[in-house]
Chains A and B, each alone.
Chain A
Amino acid sequence: MALPTVTWISMAIAIVALPGVASVALVKSLRSEERKLSLLKKQDKVDSYSPRALAELRDWVEAHPNDPYAPVARERYNECVETLREVEEPYYDWSPEEIDQLDRLD
């Protein structure tokens, strides 16, 4: 039985949107773990936030200094800053200039 074109298109979209996306997510996730393990082996630490996520974390702590979760957030922020200063190769896409501009939160 010859399938109509619209059926082929519909099937192709389903395959791309489901197994296609799942396969990409799986490969990306496994590669990310591999890279983190290799960095941990080499330098014992890995930065935890991307530049965008860390900037948001800083803004949030500054906007909510008395929030009950602020100490946890501050600790995580400072830990990431310290790690970025100590490691040779960051996991996320940090430039040396961006790292130099980072300050601890007190």
Chain B
Amino acid sequence: MTDTEARTAREEWGSRFGFLMAMLGAMVGAGNIWRMPFTTGENGGGAFLVAYILLLFLIAVPGLMAETMIGRYTSNGVIGAFKQVFQTKRAQGLGLVVLVVNVALMSYYSPIIGWALYYAGNSVLFTFTQPGFQPQAFWDGFIANPGLVVGMHTLTMAGIAGVLVFGIRRGIERVVKWMIPLLVVALVAVAVRGVTLPGGMEGVAFVFTPKWEFLTRGSTWVAALSQALFSTGLGWGIALTYGSYLGRYDDVPLGGGLFTAIGNTSIGLLAVFATFPVVFAFGLEPSAGSNLLFISLAKVFPELPGGGLWALVFFVSFFFATFTSGLGITEVGVTTVSEETQFDRTKSVLAVCGVIWLFGLPSAYSTSFLGQMDFIFGSFGLPLATLSIIALVAWKFGPERARIIDLNRNAGIYIGSWWNPVVKYVIPAVMLFIIGYGVVISIGTENQTLMLLGVAVMAALTVVSTVVMSVVGNAPEKISDTGVSVSGGD
């Protein structure tokens, strides 16, 4: 086979189950396990869930449909999709923005996967049930040991490269098909154990008892919006990239939209059941975030009968959740680099994973730097990436075209015209609101400088990416035989 032939034969998912598990695995991450339980409890419990579920169906589900659809339609990674739809070299800069944001995100997410790997490894060795085990000292000793944290970051990226090098079907799909079902089974098992603990039901009551007055608070809706958008990975380029490997007879709205968004949140709900009963049964501080996992839970699992085993089940499943997200985030770069350069898949994997590893060293070394990266890219980079992708579908391709020509093709559920205004107006408005809200609440706080830096970095990234792609971007192919450029969204 010639090189040209090899590069034109695009891989496809081997099975529907594989695609769905890959989408779910990519979207379920650390945020589902440690953020959703606390956010729910802190914002009115059942009242927050009402707001969250509403916004999930209203925004995340249609948004993920749009992103997956444009991936399947263009059969391209992020830069290629912008190239094909916008038909200009300059607009490919928005694709580069999405790519850079993903690489930056993965550079600080990889060390977190490394933490999960370290704890999963130690749970396998039953370290947490050793006599005299001190969880706080164990965590402090780990995080203060540069060799160990950098080593875990290195192992993580090596593991991700080791999976991605085998491609979509033999790499990602083969791994997620057993990791995600195991994650679900493990969380169900821990949840059952948690709610049957003395005092465990208090945790359930804390999370699910609706405090309706919270629905009148703006902060509840902002928290629900952030959780609905960020925990589903909408607009990060992952759904676009994974969607680009769908076959011609595959459905988008049912699997890529509804199942991915709702399935992802279902795992968040399972995490609520898995962590909060334990938190309340042992009188822990529910707002402890990552500390809740790595210090508090490491302390209480061994106190349960058969605790070493419960710790193993929990930490290994947490590692699975983070690792499969790492695969999705990194694949965005791998697909794009292999399409836009002369690199084959192996070289693309090595290049992307190498760059992420290098840029991830400061975050691995310093949790303070990691926090700053998270603030800048989480608060401003991800909304910018989401806006870019939604602009691609809603404002250039056009929602009516998208829905009629492609979204409802081979679809498992019919999507009506209600989808058009949601994608075209509601999602961009929400993203702009979240960026604006992030700016406003940072003014006058210790985060103000970081916020200004974040806004400046994103503005510079957009300008530089546009200029770079104007110069080095590949010329787009014509949309149709007419050679007419698309005039804009409908």
Q: Please give me the 6 A-B residue pairs with the lowest Cβ-Cβ distance, nearest first.
A: A10-B46, A33-B16, A53-B408, A25-B259, A22-B263, A19-B266
Give chain A nearest CB distance to B19 CB in angstroms: 9
Q: What residues on B are CB-neighbors of A48 within 8 Å?
A: 249, 409-410
Q: What residues on B are CB-neighbors of A104 within 8 Å?
A: none
B472 touches A (CB below 8 Å): no
CA distance A44 to B122 in the complex (A): 52
Give chain A nearest CB distance to B246 CB in angstroms: 11
B196 touches A (CB below 8 Å): no
Interface string of B247-291 (1 = CB under 8 A from A): 001010011001100110110011000000000000000000000
Question: Which secondary structure dominates where chain B touches chain A?
Answer: helix
User: Which of B203-211, B349-357, B436-444 lines the interface with chain A?
Assistant: B203-211
B401 touches A (CB below 8 Å): yes
Interface string of B177-218 (1 = CB under 8 A from A): 000000000000000000000010110110011100000000
Interface size class of B (residues with CB under 8 A): 35 or more
Which residues in chain B, 210-255, are within 8 Å of chain A measured between CB atoms?
210, 249, 251, 254-255
Q: Tell whether, in the assembled complex, residue B255 and residue A11 are in contact, meaning their CB atoms are under 8 Å apart.
A: no
Give chain A nearest CB distance to B49 CB in angstroms: 5
Query: Told that A14-B269, A28-B412, A56-B408 touch, could you supply 16 new A-B pairs with CB distance under 8 A?
Result: A3-B209, A6-B209, A6-B210, A7-B209, A11-B204, A13-B50, A22-B265, A28-B254, A29-B16, A46-B249, A48-B410, A53-B404, A53-B409, A66-B484, A68-B480, A69-B486
Q: Tell whether, in the assembled complex, residue B480 and residue A71 are in contact, meaning their CB atoms are under 8 Å apart.
A: yes
Binding site for B on A (CB under 8 A): 1, 3-4, 6-7, 10-11, 13-15, 17-19, 21-22, 25-26, 28-30, 32-33, 36, 40, 46, 48-50, 52-53, 56-57, 60, 66-73, 76
**11 A–B contacts from the bound complex (CB under 8 Å):** A3-B201, A10-B45, A10-B49, A10-B209, A13-B49, A14-B208, A25-B255, A33-B15, A49-B409, A68-B479, A73-B404
B331 touches A (CB below 8 Å): no
Which residues in chain B, 61-117, are within 8 Å of chain A measured between CB atoms?
none
Which residues in chain B, 366-422, are within 8 Å of chain A measured between CB atoms?
400-401, 404-405, 408-412, 414
CA distance A6 to B481 in the complex (A): 61
Residues A32 and B254 in contact in the complex (CB < 8 Å), given A10-B49, A73-B405? yes
Residues A56 and B404 in contact in the complex (CB < 8 Å), given A10-B45, A21-B262, A29-B412? yes
CA distance A64 to B480 in the complex (A): 14
B485 touches A (CB below 8 Å): yes
Q: Tell whether, in the assembled complex, residue A22 and residue B45 are in contact, meaning their CB atoms are under 8 Å apart.
A: no
Picked from B259, B262, B400, the residue with its CB within 8 Å of the CB of A60 is B400
Residues A25 and B209 in contact in the complex (CB < 8 Å), given A10-B46, A49-B408? no
Q: What residues on B are CB-neighbors of A46 within 8 Å?
A: 249, 410
B482 touches A (CB below 8 Å): yes
CA distance A30 to B251 in the complex (A): 11
Interface centre among A10, A52, A57 (most CB of B within 10 A): A10
- With both beta carbons as reference points, the residue of chain B lying nearest to A14 in the complex is identified as B49
Give chain A nearest CB distance to B28 CB in angstroms: 12
Q: Tell whether, in the assembled complex, residue B401 and residue A69 are in contact, meaning their CB atoms are under 8 Å apart.
A: yes
Q: Tell whether, in the assembled complex, residue B409 and residue A7 are in contact, meaning their CB atoms are under 8 Å apart.
A: no
Q: Tell whether, in the assembled complex, residue A3 and residue B205 are in contact, meaning their CB atoms are under 8 Å apart.
A: yes
Q: What residues on A are CB-neighbors of B209 within 8 Å?
A: 3-4, 6-7, 10
Give chain A nearest CB distance to B290 CB in angstroms: 24
Picked from A25, A32, A50, the residue with its CB within 8 Å of the CB of B408 is A50
